[in-house]
Amino acid sequence: MTWIRPLAAHAPRPCTLVVCRGCCCGDPRKNPGSDHAGQLARLREAAAASGGRLAVRTSDCLGPCAQANVIVVQPTSEARSRGARAVWFGWALDDTATDEIIDWARSGGPGSTPLPDTLELHRIDPPAPKEPTTPRRGRRR
């Protein structure tokens, strides 16, 4: 079977905000004072108004649940080709943190614009990669 890559796979990728909405992030029971739905709506509005320079996706659990809400800002394909890597933010629970992430991503994000000091306070390390599991072979009976 031949796999055909979609045409969009070759298009330049914009700065992308990956918003965790797994078990803890976005859960009003864990962080009841935060407007989780409002945060996601604001991020999507910023992307829609960016003229294609920003994209937003949601993801299941990204891992650092104790630091919810987690947002990962991925660089543009151009910045990635120059060595830029994704930047992880935790405790993004209020409008100020959301605004700062949007503003930084709008200005280019990783590899294009220096990280503001205020966002450095939200920066977290990504979780360590998981060791690959070896599939167990079942016994024939």
What integer best gives the mean pLDDT of the chain? 87
Least confident span in 58-72, 79-93, 110-124: 58-72
* pLDDT band at residue 102 under the 50/70/90 scheme: very high
* pLDDT band at residue 137 under the 50/70/90 scheme: low
Considering the domain boundaries, does residue 20 fall inside one? yes
Considering the domain boundaries, does residue 38 fall inside one? yes
User: CATH number, domain at 99?
Assistant: 3.40.30
Considering the domain boundaries, does residue 99 fall inside one? yes
Considering the domain boundaries, does residue 139 fall inside one? no
Average pLDDT of the segment spanning 64-90: 93
User: Who has greater pLDDT, 132 or 46?
Assistant: 46
Considering the domain boundaries, does residue 41 fall inside one? yes
Helices and strands, number each (H, E), in the chain: 4, 5
Considering the domain boundaries, does residue 26 fall inside one? yes
Taking 70 as the threshold, does the pLDDT of residue 77 lie above it? yes
Considering the domain boundaries, does residue 45 fall inside one? yes
77: containing domain: 15-121
Report residue 43 as tokens: 């991020």
Considering the domain boundaries, does residue 79 fall inside one? yes
d(C-alpha 11, C-alpha 19), whole Å: 22
- Count Cβ atoms within 10 A of the Cβ of residue 94 and give its class: 0-12 exposed, 13-18 middle, 19 or more buried: middle
Q: Say if residues 75 and 15 touch (Cβ distance below 8 Å).
A: yes
C-beta neighbour count of 48 within 10 angstroms: 11
Structural domains counted in the chain: 1
Tens digit of each residue's pLDDT (9 = 90 or more) over 21-31: 988 888 888 88
Q: What is the pLDDT of residue 43?
A: 96
